[in-house]
Amino acid sequence: MESYLAEIASDCNLSVSKFLSLVELIPEQSRVTDDGVYRAIDIYLKARPTISDLEKKEVCSLMDCQKLSREACAHATQNDHLSVQTLVQVLYYEQQCLQDVMNGSVSSGDSPAVISSRVNLYPSDIHPVSDELSSLKRENDDLKLELMKMKMRLKERKINVSKIGSAGGKGRTRPAKDRRHSIS
């Protein structure tokens, strides 16, 4: 079903509501990972660059960020088409995963995707683990910085728009020449 979704996702006649209902047909418990759903969402959003933020948020809410594999997480953190909320969730769960691995704890309630990503991410040799960890930490920090920059740019745009809207008609005007009075 997920492969079918990925195939039809680029069809510009597929409305948001139809796409949402098709994704919701896939039972969550049957999905070990959400990589297929993520792929379909990614294709859908790339085919619709003008989709509203609200619709983008709705579409992205269909996937469980905790069920993404390491590769899908890495791709998602650099995906400009996803909603900001989804990017934050992916970064949060990725950081949570790193902290759990650093602490040596793997919860029995973790999904197989999370456990397998931890196993694949950190081989038993200690030096590659620390190199990999520091590399991922740097990448995570870079992504956080980029996200903060995006938020600041968004705030600046909102402030500029509100200044333009509030500046109209509030300027001080001079009285007409015939109304000027001189003091003698």
pLDDT bin (cut points 50, 70, 90) of residue 46 is: very high
Q: What is the pLDDT of residues 121-138, one digit of tens each?
A: 433 444 455 677 777 888
- Whether the Cβ atoms of residue 36 and residue 63 lie closer than 8 Å to each other: no
The tokens describing 29, both together, are 């418990």
pLDDT at position 160 is 77
Q: What is the spatial distance between Cα 71 and Cα 94, in angstroms, rounded to a whole number?
A: 11
Q: Per residue in 41-71, is it b (16+ CB within 10 Å) or e — as a string? A: bbbbbeebeebeeebbebbbebbbbbbbbbe
Q: Is the pTM of this model over 0.75?
A: no
Q: What is the pLDDT of residues 134-181, one digit of tens each?
A: 778 888 888 888 888 888 888 888 877 777 766 655 555 555 555 555
